[in-house]
Amino acid sequence: MRGVRGTWGGWSWARGRVLAASAVVTAGLLAFHCAVPNAVGRPGSLLEAFLPWLGAVVVVLAGLALWRRSATAAVAVALPAAVWAYLFGGLLLPADRAEGDLVAVQHNVSDENPDPAGTARALAAASPELIALEELTPAALPVYASVLAADYPHHAVEGTVGLWSRYPLTDVRRLDIRPRGIGEGWNRGLRSTVRTPHGDIAVYVAHLPSVRLGVRGFGSGPRDESAGLLGAAVAAERLETVVLLGDLNGTVDDRGLAPVTSRMGAPRRGLAFSWPAAFPVARIDQVLARAATVRDVRTLPATGSDHLPVAARLRIGRP
């Protein structure tokens, strides 16, 4: 029953104000993450790289509100919970079982992978129409090509990235996404036309530069510059339908990838955290599309890489 201090059944409106304030701040970071400045140390991009994990903060705050029996905190926690559900809840819904037009697998296979043959077999087991690989080495490339040859007779490689396809490839060319100061030997992008039963589509495979977290903050400058070049290439693409497969070293929420993500659609279902393989905390391996819908994305079992493979179903040319 209600007491003189505003309690009811042990719950109080008078305590838990710090928890309530923390909940409001969490809601603000979720809803207005783009307002966090990125000028020095890129804290905005760092926040956006792990934005879904603010849901864990919401769970902790809810548990503390329950433990403290704070009505104020309990009501306040509903705010970030609602924002998180709006931003990410749809990704957790069951995938639409309607079939897509094709399945694509994206995997950074690691240049230190001890079992390229096993990795290739694991990727082919998902029965995709397209397989994109990054961090191919001269020693491992013949192994991937040999294992995948029977089911994927068409393939193209530029530098350390490659594309294997069930369908013919034409107009294959190197995609120059080098940041300033990087030499000619840095080849981590390709573009190809894939002649699918649903029409010709442009498929891009890209591996953007890594980011670093250090005393100066979130070092994403070269990656952001490379993303700008990739976004410009997509914008200039003459084919209507474009599929991008790649290790972009960033999440779709990271503003550093906006030159790309502003032009392409992200998966509608699935969180599919892909890195690091031992304890995935972010999906930096992406399948994005223009004039097509990425219906859902999921991770595949671990290989000899420090990334998990991701597989996506796509519907070409219509929602």
Higher-pLDDT residue of 163 and 13 is 163
Q: 66 and 32 in one domain?
A: yes
In a domain, 1, yes or no: no
Same domain, 87 and 223: no
Q: At which of 92, 125, 144 does a domain end?
A: 92
Answer whether the bond into residue 153 is a cis peptide, omega within 30°: no
Instruction: Note the pLDDT of residue 6.
Output: 61
% the chain with pLDDT above 90: 86
pLDDT of residue 213: 82
Query: Residue 215 falls within a domain, yes or no?
Result: yes
Query: pLDDT tens, 68-126?
Result: 999 999 999 999 999 999 999 999 998 776 778 999 999 999 999 999 999 999 999 99
Q: What is the pLDDT of residue 319?
A: 57
- Interval 218-231 mean pLDDT: 95
The residue segments making up the domain with residue 272 are 102-316
What pLDDT score does 208 carry?
A: 98
Tell if the pTM clears 0.75, that is, is over it.
Answer: yes
- Within this chain, do residues 116 and 72 fall inside the same structural domain, yes or no? no
Q: Is the pLDDT of residue 318 over 70?
A: no
Last residue of a domain, one of 63, 92, 121: 92
The DSSP result for the chain, as a single string, is: ---TTSEETTEESSS-HHHHHHHHHHHHHHHTGGGS--SSS-HHHHHHHTGGGHHHHHHHHHHHHHHHTBHHHHHHHHHHHHHHHHHHGGGGSPPP-S--SEEEEEEE--TT-S-HHHHHHHHHTT--SEEEEES--TTTHHHHHHHHTTT--EEEEETTEEEEESS-EEEEEE---PPTT--TT---EEEEEEEETTEEEEEEEEEPPP-EEETTEEE-HHHHHHHHHHHHHHHH--SS-EEEEEE-SS-TT-GGGHHHHTTSBPPSS-----BSTTS--B--EEEEEESEEEEEEEEPPP-SSSS--EEEEEEES--
**pLDDT, average across residues 124-142:** 98
The pLDDT of residue 233:
98
Mean pLDDT of all residues belonging to the chain: 94
Both 205 and 294 in a single domain? yes
Please tell me the predicted confidence (pLDDT) of residue 4: 44
pLDDT at res. 14: 85
136 with 263, same domain: the answer is yes
Domain match, 18 and 116 both: no
Question: Which segment of 140-154, 213-227, 228-242 scores lowest on mean pLDDT?
Answer: 213-227
> What are the phi and psi torsion angles at 95 (to 5°)?
-65, 145
R_g over Cα of the chain:
22
Does residue 225 share a domain with residue 80?
no
Task: Select from 70, 92, 114 the last residue of a domain.
Answer: 92
pLDDT tens digits for 5-55?
566 667 889 889 999 999 999 999 999 999 999 888 889 999 999 999 999
- The verdict on 151 and 237 lying in the same domain is yes
Backbone conformation region of residue 88, classed left if phi is above 0, alpha if psi is from -120 to 50, else beta: alpha
Q: Which of 232, 224, 221 is nearest to 191 (CA)?
A: 232
What confidence score (pLDDT) does residue 5 get?
52
pLDDT for res 216: 74
Q: How many domains does the chain have?
A: 2
- The answer to the question of residue 212 being in a domain is yes
Rounded to an integer, what distance in angstroms lies between the CA atom of residue 85 and that of residue 204? 32
pLDDT score recorded for residue 232: 98
**pLDDT at 67 exceeding the cut of 70:** yes
- Tokens in use for 105? 């697998």
Distance of CA 39 to the CA centre of its chain: 23
Indicate whether 194 pLDDT > 70: yes
The answer to whether 92 and 271 are in contact (CB under 8 A) is yes
Q: Could you tell me if residue 97 is inside a domain?
A: no
- State whether the Cα torsion 295-299-303-307 is positive or negative: positive
Mean pLDDT score, 201-225 = 91
Please check whether residue 106 lies inside any domain of the structure. Answer: yes
